[in-house]
Structure 1
Amino acid sequence: MLIPSLVLRWLITGLCTIAQALLKGYEDAIVIPEINANFELKHGLINLVQNKQFFGYDKEDPHAHIQYFNKITSTMRFPDIPSTSIKLMLFPFFHCLEKEPPRSILTWDDLVSKFINQFFPPSKTKNLRNEITRFQQRFDESFYEAWDRFNDLLRACPHHEFLELHQLDTFYNALNANDQDSLNSAVGGNFLDKMPRECLRIIEC
């Protein structure tokens, strides 16, 4: 039995609409700006980025990975092509942002913000900042063990935004009385009256 042309046209239109909807759901989250130049990503460039992909494991630091990605891409220069466009093109080879809606990332700053918030949410930052602020030397912990542990906390939250002076003040006040006295003796007075660079030199010598 032949299908009337009107019905056939309706079926084709419906199938095309469904196909477009399905394809739209699989569009990339990152929108690449139009590049008016003859350009393509070289395999060597892609491999360089893929050598240190980010998988979102607990021990992976998203800030460190962004710094690595920026370091790699900062060495790339292409005439008439903005560096941010190159970054947007390369990032899917570095990490796939599966949870972001299609065509929801329009700029590099937007991408970095969503990437960091996905793997380092504000609640995690708040908890780590609180750990730094409440830091205390343990009863059985030596001075240098306490210093190493304090620095581990700072490294775990690279965007803690604590100034160097605030860090030193927090660490000094977390120490037991004997270790505070040792630092004061080393500077011949109040340890915290010295410049941060001098304080760090004394701690690390």
Structure 2
Amino acid sequence: MRTPSQSRNSNRQQQKLNPNSVEPFNLVEPIPVVTMDDTRTMAQLLEARTVGNEDAIVVPEITAGNFELKHGLLTLVQNKQFFGHDKEDPHAHIRYFNKITSTMKFPNVPSTSVKLMLFPFSLEGAARIWLEKEPPRSILTWDDLVSKFINKFFPPSKTTNLRNEIMRFQQRFDETFYEAWDRFNDLLRACPHHGFLELHQLDTFYNALNSNDQDSLNSAAGGNFLDKMPRDCLRIIESKSKVHNSRNKPVVVKVSLSSSTLGISPDIAELKDMVKALLLEKKNRT
């Protein structure tokens, strides 16, 4: 009877005698020995491979055990996404996003952490591409995110152009008082960080008006319109705007008779305004 060692020796001798014979394949792979240096190298390779895929936004760790983002909140955020078009207002998007996210409170979870988690879902198109191209882990706080978002889609050059447009504002030849006031406010809303004080805004608008509308404001103020307090000036402007915008029955503002600066009777000026309002009403009906 052959021993196991004798059988192995016999197989080897037969393989030498027959060069075409194939040694049986060993299905058991040897287990490599991993050293500390190898482990360190693997960790470095893994880090290098994953760093490029890290998000730009760093969301602080949330320790609350029962925290869960509701699907309804995510849907609200995605219902009004920002695409990065020229006519889109990033300030309005931030206001809407803040309003939506403030509707839900999570115990022991900072609201800024929720905003950082949800904000990427409010972007699409060019805006989403912008965020994806931001350096990994470069946005650490909500203020960082808002600042970078505004600077990208509302750069300083756009602010400068809008500020210049506000300062150069002029009432158009065929533009009513109400239309001019509405257009002026549109410019202010388009550049919410214009930096103009309320008094400067009123001064700019008043000096942009034609002489008849300036006289009407002075008459309603009982003197120089700009000598009034800003809140009184705004009240007068709103009253005059309602007269021009009325489509049913024009409302005439009662004014002082001693305030005409160019020798035009205030009653005549208001009568002209009333006629303009009637003509505008007739034009709208036709």
For normalisation by structure 1, the TM-score amounts to 0.87
Give the C-alpha shift of residue 163 in structure 1.
Answer: 1.8
Matches within 5 A, 1:61-100: 61-95=89-123, 96=128, 97-100=131-134
Q: Equivalent of 1:49, from 68, 77, 81?
A: 77
Moved more, 100-109 or 71-80: 71-80
> What is the distance in 2 between the residues matched to 1:22 and 1:162?
50
The alignment's C-alpha RMSD in Å is 2.4
**Runs of 4+, deviation exceeding 6 Å:** 10-16
Cα displacement string for residues 67-95 of structure 1 (whole angstroms, at most 9, x for unaligned residues) = 01111111221111111111111111112
The unaligned stretches of length 5 or more in structure 1 are: none
Q: Which residue of 2 aligns with 1:128?
A: 162
Higher relative contact order (CA 8 A, sep 6+): 1
The structure having more radius of gyration, on CA atoms, is 2
Give the C-alpha shift of residue 156 in structure 1.
Answer: 0.9
Give the C-alpha shift of residue 161 in structure 1.
Answer: 2.1
> What is the distance in 2 between the residues matched to 1:191 and 1:89?
50
Give the C-alpha shift of residue 152 in structure 1.
Answer: 1.4
Q: Equivalent of 1:179, from 213, 219, 242?
A: 213
Q: Is the 8 A contact 2:73 2:101 kept in 1?
A: no
* 1:98 aligned counterpart, secondary structure: helix
Q: Which residue of 2 aligns with 1:150?
A: 184
2:171 corresponds to which letter in structure 1? Q
The unaligned stretches of length 5 or more in structure 2 are: 1-31, 240-286
- Verify: 1:34 aligned to 2:61, yes or no: yes
Give the C-alpha shift of residue 59 in structure 1.
Answer: 2.1
Give the C-alpha shift of residue 113 in structure 1.
Answer: 0.2
2:206 corresponds to which letter in structure 1? Y
Q: Which residue of 2 aligns with 1:104?
A: 138
Give the C-alpha shift of residue 17 in structure 1.
Answer: 5.5
Q: Equivalent of 2:227, from 190, 193, 196?
A: 193
1:70 corresponds to which letter in structure 2? N
> What is the distance in 1 between the residues matched to 2:162 and 2:61?
40
Cα displacement string for residues 87-127 of structure 1 (whole angstroms, at most 9, x for unaligned residues) = 11111111231231111000000000001111000111111
For normalisation by structure 2, the TM-score amounts to 0.64
Give the C-alpha shift of residue 28 in structure 1.
Answer: 0.9
1:59 corresponds to which letter in structure 2? K
Q: Is the 8 A contact 2:171 2:209 kept in 1?
A: yes
Give the C-alpha shift of residue 19 in structure 1.
Answer: 5.8
Matches within 5 A, 1:159-170: 159-170=193-204
1:28 corresponds to which letter in structure 2? D
> What is the distance in 2 between the residues matched to 1:99 and 1:190?
55
